[in-house]
Chains A and B, each alone.
Chain A
Amino acid sequence: MHDVAKLIDEKLLDEAAHWLARMHASDFSASEQAALEQWCTQSAAHAQVWRCAQHIKHQLQEVPSTVGMAVLNRPASVTNRRHLLRNTALTLVAVPVLGWLTSQALPWQAWSADYRTAKGQRRTVVLADGSRITLNTASAISTSMRNDARLIDHYEGEILVETAHNAVYQHLPFIVQTRDGQMQALGTKFIVRQHEQGTTLSVLKGAVRAAPAHLEQSTTVHIRQQLRFTGHALGVATALDTHAGAWAQGVLYAENMRLEDFLRELGRYRNGVLHCTPEVAGLQVSGVYQLSDTDRILQLLEQTLPVRLQMRTRYWVSVVKA
């Protein structure tokens, strides 16, 4: 007898939950509304469950959104860490800081995604918290929204990060991780570029804390500063390269740049080999170039500098003395 009552209850809860979810959907129809009203009056039990639901909804309405989000959606502090508490003192509940990610066990709730761009491609992704990440040419990241952090694993290339102010996720540190170390956003807008050796962090807004993977030290890079570091060396922050974020607008800036360096930069955006002979390597290049058409940029070089292009194929270009 008891079991039968239980079974009905479960079915009732399923149905009530279904209706509650439906009634907030944008495509909830008038006929569904009618069916719901009929459902509520089917029995005293139906009516009672529905009253409960109304009570819950009423309580939710009493709570200011910012307060409710901060309190009810706070990261699980205790229950998740029960296993840790079993044998240890409570200090473990203290808020973790930069550098803990390596020691933290994998989260029980995490969702992640992978993004990649081909050479010459650029794309912007918006994360669950509203933060935007723009991937430059030939870049790869994976993102995970975890209970303890918003984590970007940056595998290669260059990314522009603009973190969002979102009450739900505000308490979670925003971290970009490269093979050289971790960077924690203290502000809103920065660029991370991985070189063959080392990582360059350029801060456009706010500040970012950088911690090399194999050092105990960390340093804060402030607005309009950049820092190149490796897993073993922190380096010193210098003034931000004025055009650091230009690529995000699809533009390559050159200001008295050596042709050799310019071609190396351009090479990031097109497939194949691109190089110049030593006698023209030191020529100076200045200008603003549209990255969407790298062939056109090479033609422009021919028009403005005493050089010509030797193209064995589209993928093998030498810039030589004219």
Chain B
Amino acid sequence: MNSYINRMIQISLRLLVEGRVDAILGFQRGTLPMMSQPILIRQPEQVDQLHWDSFCANNVANYLPKRREKVAVVAKGCDSRNIVLQIQENQIKREQLYIIGVPCHGMVDRRKVLADLNGREVLEVRDKDGILCLAAEGFEEVFLHSEYLQDNCAICRHRNPVIYDELVAEPVTEQTEVERFSDVLALEAMTDIERWQHFQELLSPCIRCYACRNSCPMCYCPTCFVDESTPQWLGRSIDPTDTQTYHFLRAYHLAGRCTDCGNCELACPVGIKMRQLTKKLEKDILELYGYEAGLSLDEPPPLDTYRPDDPQEFIK
């Protein structure tokens, strides 16, 4: 990790000193163990604040839409795919960006680690070469990254940035053989009634805080449909119909746009596994159009384009 950080700092310093960019968008160390915080650095003397470890899971593309200045952005594989989509959707211009690509080893799920610590609190974290060493008064324990990865990272096929101006390290080996859709296959195998019951249960803890929406780099509408008030489209209570409508519509808005960065689940305070909704749509788009979101600037998003050979069985 240190080599990543050193390289990031070198690049950032050079870019700021040479005036190539106005700011660096990256991460700083968090105030809690196993947390980080997105930061915007404008002064060369601040670049030492840049940090990298296995807990830099927030998708920095979330901070790009409508930015006016020129920004260097520290981007993992998923971040870079969201950047591609945002460029295609005219939220930011490629010329405004200097992409510092970070080949990613997958992010560790803080909550999985905390769950296994069983209430014991960690004071010190050492994070090196796929091993996490956690310590506090009276205990020291070693965790393997590979066993505590975020669910989305464990099945990620695009750990290397798909677009960048410079990489902080050599690309990592991609996990080409992972099965991405086992949970979706399970959903598809359910009867309609089972699936409906599953969804109702899945979404029942929702407190409508909208962290899943707001943590998503593709949710940038000036006014979200849930915030429309003239007329109001959706009830604001925690009536299950309104809550479910919110989640289903949110997922549909991400069809062909979700990169499975996992920020929705990461942000959810009540632990809702809502990626299965977006992953079902990801699978459909892959099967219908052979398309994966945000892999190339030259590939138009399938729902924004028309091709004579597009499948149309669903509108019979």
Query: Are A and B associated in one complex?
Result: no
B interface residues with partner A (beta carbon < 8 Å): none
A interface residues with partner B (beta carbon < 8 Å): none
